[in-house]
Homo-oligomer: A and B are copies of this chain.
Amino acid sequence: MDNFNFYNPVRVLFGEATIPQIGRELKNAGIKKVLLLAGGGSIKSNGVYDTAIKSLRRAGIEWVELWGVRPNPTLEHALKGIEICRSNGLESILAIGGGSVIDEAKSIAAGFYLDDLWEAFEGNEKINNALPLYTILTISATCSEMNMFAVLSNEEQKKKWAIRSEYIFPKISIIDPGVQMSLPWRQTLNGGIDAISHTMEFYFLGTNQEISISIDEAIINTLIKSIDMLQNDEKNYNARANLAWSSALALNGVSGASMRGGDWAVHNIEHSISVLYPEVAHAEGLSVIYPAWILYMQENNKSQFERWAKNIWGADSVEKGVEMLKNKYKSWGAPVSLRELHIAKEVIPDLATNAMIRGEFGILKKLNYNDVINILELAF
């Protein structure tokens, strides 16, 4: 069992009617003025915005609003947030939304204390402080609500990079699964597949960490059951709640304990798709690439892939397991081939070239250009 460090100081308030606690929590922390960061108007239509500002008002918290965070949050918009915080003397950020809003909020929180935020993404400036961040989650997927990562796009330079710093852990994240009941099926599904994929990035590195392996199986199986239930009944609170907490555990450190940081090759390959085809959702790319990657990689950790087939799918071979994974994804309406994403076979070399930009990648096996070509062809 490999050494690991575990640290996650995020306080989670989980459950129904937790959003009205936000004002008091900010007040208890001595915060008087916050930036309220949000995406589109969905938090107005589902009532989350009203509940939150009512709580702020009651606690005597002042706020300035910044709307318009995009699904792939941009540097430009984050810089605007930093400027607002500085010019209004804001002491904290309250992010209301999903992973994109929280990622941008983390960037603003860190950028507040930096000379040049993007230099931190380039690895040239070190994050040594951040504004305290509070979040109200409206869609479970990325676990940004409970980790120290943030992804931002620099549109000018066509770069989509990440920062990682303990300073950007949220102080408190409020997760009320009830507010996710009004999400369109497609968003629920993409969030669920994202969380399954996160867990699998760790899981397939499994060897002798029985506890992490079996917890990862618990997470994956619960996610599958919850998505199944929500397909039939989008208002099922317990399914929403199980999906929400499983998604958090999928990338908050628990699923990855002693798992060498995860493999992340599938995420890297997917990234090359969504850069060239921005209309493809991240989760759609993942649901296409994962089955192919599993088939291609199985000999590199055979017993673990066989265990996956057996304990997740009740299947007696990896091929059978992959078949069942694809059938499950299809039954949910998720794509399982590049063809379904309307990506032509001729584009595969471009995708592979793009994936190799930072060199070989993957932990279970370092993937080179030919490996990626093979995986993409399997995914076709």
Listed in ascending order, the chain A residues whose CB lies under 8 Å from chain B are 1-18, 177, 208-212, 214-215, 217-219, 221-222, 225-226, 237-238, 241-242, 245-246, 249, 254, 257-258
A249 to B6, CA, bound (A): 12
Which of B5, B14, B215 contacts A215 (CB under 8 A)?
B215
Closest 10 pairs between A and B when the two form their complex, measured CB to CB = A3-B15, A214-B218, A9-B9, A1-B241, A6-B12, A7-B11, A208-B238, A211-B222, A215-B218, A211-B246
Chain B residues whose C-beta falls within 8 Å of the C-beta of A211 in the assembled complex:
218-219, 222, 242, 245-246, 249
Which B-chain residue is minimally distant from A212 (CB atoms)? Answer: B245
Chain B residues whose C-beta falls within 8 Å of the C-beta of A18 in the assembled complex:
3
A210 to B221, CA, bound (A): 9
A115–chain B nearest beta-carbon distance, Å: 25
A174–chain B nearest beta-carbon distance, Å: 10
A210–B6 touching, CB < 8 Å: no
Q: List 9 A-B contacts (CB under 8 A).
A: A1-B245, A3-B17, A5-B14, A15-B258, A210-B222, A210-B226, A211-B222, A211-B249, A241-B258
Which residue, of A18, A177, A258, has the highest number of chain B Cβ atoms within 10 A? A258
Chain B residues whose C-beta falls within 8 Å of the C-beta of A222 in the assembled complex:
210-211, 214
A16 to B2, CA, bound (A): 8
Q: With A211-B222, A217-B218 in contact, is A5–B1 under 8 Å at CB?
A: no
> How many monomers of this chain does the complex have?
2
A177 to B209, CA, bound (A): 13
Chain B residues whose C-beta falls within 8 Å of the C-beta of A10 in the assembled complex:
7
Known: A14-B257, A210-B222, A212-B245. 4 other contacts (CB 8 A): A1-B237, A4-B14, A5-B12, A241-B258
B225–A210 touching, CB < 8 Å: yes
Which residue, of A6, A17, A242, has the highest number of chain B Cβ atoms within 10 A? A6
Which B-chain residue is minimally distant from A223 (CB atoms)? Answer: B211
